[in-house]
C-alpha cells in the first residue's frame, strides 16, 4: 500500500489529474454559489453576440432581425462562448437570450441553463490554466515547489472566482499561460513547433483584447534581454509577428468587407478605435473636472459599428476630443493622472478586490472579505521579496507578468484586466515563503536557499545558454 501511495505521489499523471479535479470542483462550486444572478453589463453584450453566433445570426448584439453587425467587441471571447453554447445545444440544451436583466443591480431574475453551462465551460478552461501553470513552473522550479504553487492556485478564490463572470478575464488568463508556456519551451529548446504554437496563441490574444497587439514589440525586448543577440531576437520576433498577423487577417478581412477602409487594421477589426478611445478618455476627464454625472454622457459604445468607424476616420471624434481637452486644459502631470496611475499600480500588485463585488461582499461577508483583503496585502508584500530573489532565475516564464507590469497604466484600471499577471504574483509570494524558511529557519546561505528551490536541469541550462549567447 505504501509503495502504491509513493508511486501515485510522484506520478505525473496522478499529479495533473488531482490538480484538475480539485480545480474544477472548486470552480464549479464557485459557479453555483457565488453571485449566480450577477452579470456585468459588458457580459450581457458578450453573451448576446455568442447566442447570435450559435443561432447563425452573425456577429451582432441585437435580439431581433435584421441583426446588425457590431464590431466594438473583439471576437476571441464571443467565439469562445459560442463554442460552449454550441456544445450545450448539441447536448440538448436550449440556448436563449437573457430575460429580465436589471442593469441597475446587474442581475437576472431567472438563470437560463445556457448561463449555468457557460460557467462550467469556463471552469473547465480555468482548471486547464492551473495545469498549464504547473507545467510552466516545472521548467524553472523543482517539481515539489511547482506543485505546491499550482495547488494553491487551484483553490485560490481571488483568481478562480473570475471564471464565474461572463467576461473575458479567465479566457485571457488561459491564452496568456499557453503563450508563456510555449515561449519558455522555445527559449529553452529553440524548436520551430514551439515558435509556431506560441505565435498562434499570440494571434488569438490579439483577437481577444486588442492591447495585446504590443506583444511582438515586448517579445523583441524580452528576447534580446535574455539572449543578448540582436539579430536572432529580431528574426524570431519577425517570424512570430508574421504568424500572429496571419491568424488575425481573416477576421480583419471580414470587418473590411463590412467597412472597406484599410484603417480598420489598426485595431484588428474592432470599432473601438483609437479615436473613439481618446474621445472616451476626454469625456472621463471632463466628468472628473466638471463633476458630471456618468449617465448624462453618451460614450457611443452602443452606436452601430458603421457610425463608430465613420466618426473615427472622418475626424468627428478627434474634433470632439480636442474641444474637450481645451475645455479641461489639463497639465502633463496632474492630480487626476497621478491618482489614476497609483490606483492602477495598486490594483495590479495588491489584487485585493473580491472580484468584482467588493462593497457587496464586505456588507454580506465582512469577516471573510476582510481576511481576503488582508491576505492580498500580505501576498503583495511577500511578492516584493520573492521577486527580488527569483526574477532573474525564473525569467523565461515571466513574459505576461512583465507585459502587464509595463502596461499597468492601461491594464490596471480594473482588477480583472491584470488577471494574467496574478498567478506570477502568487508564485513570487510563495517562493518568498520558501526562501525565508530555507534562509532564516534552516540557516542556509542565500545562494543555497535559492538554488535548492530551482529546477537544477534548468539552472544548469540557464548558465550554459547565457554563456553561449554572451560569447555569440
Q: Could you identify the residue written with the cell 504547473?
A: 134
State yes or no: pLDDT of 84 exceeds 60. yes
Cis omega (within 30 of 0) for bond into 54? no
Closest CA to 400 of 373, 424, 379, 429: 424
Shared domain for 84 and 218, answered yes or no, is: yes
State yes or no: pLDDT of 3 exceeds 60. no
State yes or no: pLDDT of 198 exceeds 60. yes
Shared domain for 174 and 224, answered yes or no, is: yes
Dist. CA 96–CA 52, nearest whole Å: 10
Shared domain for 342 and 411, answered yes or no, is: yes
Confidence of residue 116 (pLDDT cuts 50, 70, 90): very high
Shared domain for 288 and 378, answered yes or no, is: no
Shared domain for 265 and 314, answered yes or no, is: no
Dist. CA 156–CA 430, nearest whole Å: 12
Q: Could you identify the residue written with the cell 515539489?
A: 144
Dist. CA 196–CA 100, nearest whole Å: 45
Domain span holding position 56: 2-270+334-471
Shared domain for 125 and 259, answered yes or no, is: yes
State yes or no: pLDDT of 465 exceeds 70. no
Dist. CA 323–CA 278, nearest whole Å: 12
Element (H, E) at 306: helix 305-313
Shared domain for 425 and 311, answered yes or no, is: no
Confidence of residue 415 (pLDDT cuts 50, 70, 90): confident
Q: Which residue has the higher pLDDT, 471 or 380?
A: 380
Number of domains present in the structure of the chain: 2
Shared domain for 361 and 324, answered yes or no, is: no
Average pLDDT, the chain: 91
Shared domain for 323 and 340, answered yes or no, is: no
**Alpha helices per DSSP H over 350-421:** 358-364, 366-390, 399-406, 408-411
- Compute the average pLDDT of residues 299-322: 96
State yes or no: pLDDT of 357 exceeds 50. no
The pTM assigned to this predicted structure is: 0.93
Shared domain for 33 and 154, answered yes or no, is: yes
Phi then psi dihedrals of residue 103, to 5 deg: -70, -25
Shared domain for 168 and 263, answered yes or no, is: yes
Shared domain for 222 and 249, answered yes or no, is: yes
Question: Distances in Å between the alpha carbon of 374 and those of 278, 370, 371, 377?
Answer: 36, 6, 5, 5
End-to-end CA distance of the chain: 54
CB-based contacts of 141, cutoff 8 Å, min separation 6 = 149, 394, 431, 453, 454, 455
Dist. CA 384–CA 294, nearest whole Å: 37
Given the DSSP bridges, would you call strands 101-102 and 107-108 parallel, antiparallel or unpaired? antiparallel
Phi then psi dihedrals of residue 38, to 5 deg: -85, 135
Confidence of residue 171 (pLDDT cuts 50, 70, 90): very high
Cβ neighbours, 10 Å, residue 435 = 23
In sequence order, what are the beta bridge partners of 141? 454
Contact 34, 119 (CB under 8 A): no
Amino acid at each position: 500500500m505504501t509503495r502504491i501511495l509513493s508511486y501515485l505521489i510522484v506520478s505525473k499523471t496522478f499529479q495533473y489529474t488531482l490538480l484538475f479535479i480539485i480545480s474544477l470542483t472548486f470552480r464549479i462550486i464557485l459557479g453555483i454559489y457565488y453571485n449566480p444572478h450577477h452579470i456585468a453589463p459588458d457580459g450581457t453584450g458578450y453573451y448576446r453576440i455568442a447566442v447570435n453566433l450559435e443561432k447563425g445570426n452573425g456577429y451582432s448584439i441585437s435580439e431581433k432581425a435584421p441583426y446588425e453587425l457590431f464590431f466594438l467587441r473583439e471576437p476571441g471571447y464571443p467565439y469562445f462562448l459560442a463554442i460552449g453554447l454550441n456544445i450545450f445545444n448539441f447536448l440538448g440544451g436550449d440556448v436563449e437570450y437573457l430575460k429580465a436583466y436589471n442593469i441597475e443591480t446587474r442581475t437576472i431574475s431567472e438563470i437560463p441553463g445556457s448561463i449555468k453551462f457557460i460557467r462550467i465551460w469556463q471552469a473547465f478552461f480555468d482548471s486547464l490554466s492551473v495545469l498549464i501553470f504547473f507545467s510552466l513552473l516545472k521548467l524553472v522550479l523543482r517539481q515539489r515547489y511547482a506543485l505546491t504553487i499550482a495547488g494553491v492556485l487551484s483553490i485560490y478564490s481571488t483568481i478562480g472566482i473570475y471564471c464565474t463572470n461572463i467576461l473575458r478575464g479567465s479566457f485571457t488568463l488561459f491564452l496568456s499561460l499557453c503563450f508563456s508556456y510555449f515561449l519558455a519551451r522555445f527559449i529553452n529548446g529553440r524548436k520551430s513547433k514551439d515558435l509556431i504554437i506560441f505565435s498562434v496563441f499570440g494571434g488569438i490574444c490579439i483577437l481577444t483584447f486588442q492591447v495585446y497587439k504590443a506583444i511582438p514589440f515586448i517579445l523583441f525586448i524580452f528576447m534580446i534581454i535574455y539572449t543578448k543577440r540582436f539579430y536572432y531576437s529580431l528574426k524570431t520576433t519577425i517570424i512570430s509577428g508574421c504568424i500572429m498577423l496571419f491568424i488575425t487577417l481573416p477576421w480583419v478581412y471580414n470587418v473590411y468587407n463590412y467597412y472597406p477602409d484599410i484603417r480598420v487594421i489598426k485595431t484588428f477589426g474592432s470599432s473601438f478605435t483609437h479615436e473613439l478611445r481618446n474621445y472616451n478618455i476626454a469625456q472621463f476627464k471632463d466628468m472628473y473636472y466638471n463633476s458630471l454625472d456618468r449617465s448624462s454622457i453618451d460614450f457611443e459604445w452602443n452606436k452601430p459599428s458603421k457610425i463608430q468607424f465613420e466618426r473615427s476616420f472622418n475626424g468627428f471624434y478627434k474634433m470632439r476630443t480636442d474641444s474637450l481637452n481645451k475645455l479641461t486644459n489639463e497639465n502633463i502631470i496632474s492630480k487626476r493622472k497621478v491618482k489614476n496611475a497609483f490606483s492602477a499600480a495598486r490594483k495590479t500588485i495588491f489584487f485585493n478586490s473580491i472580484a468584482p463585488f467588493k462593497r457587496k461582499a464586505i456588507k454580506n461577508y465582512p469577516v471573510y472579505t476582510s481576511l481576503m483583503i488582508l491576505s492580498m496585502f500580505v501576498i503583495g508584500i511577500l511578492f516584493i521579496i520573492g521577486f527580488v530573489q527569483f526574477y532573474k532565475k525564473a525569467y523565461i516564464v515571466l513574459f505576461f507578468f512583465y507585459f502587464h507590469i509595463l502596461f499597468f497604466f492601461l491594464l490596471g484600471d480594473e482588477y480583472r484586466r491584470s488577471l494574467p499577471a496574478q498567478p506570477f504574483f502568487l508564485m513570487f509570494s510563495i517562493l518568498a515563503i520558501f526562501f525565508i524558511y530555507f534562509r532564516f529557519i534552516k540557516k542556509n546561505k542565500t545562494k543555497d536557499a535559492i538554488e535548492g528551490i530551482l529546477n537544477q536541469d534548468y539552472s544548469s541550462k540557464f548558465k550554459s545558454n547565457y554563456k553561449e549567447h554572451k560569447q555569440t
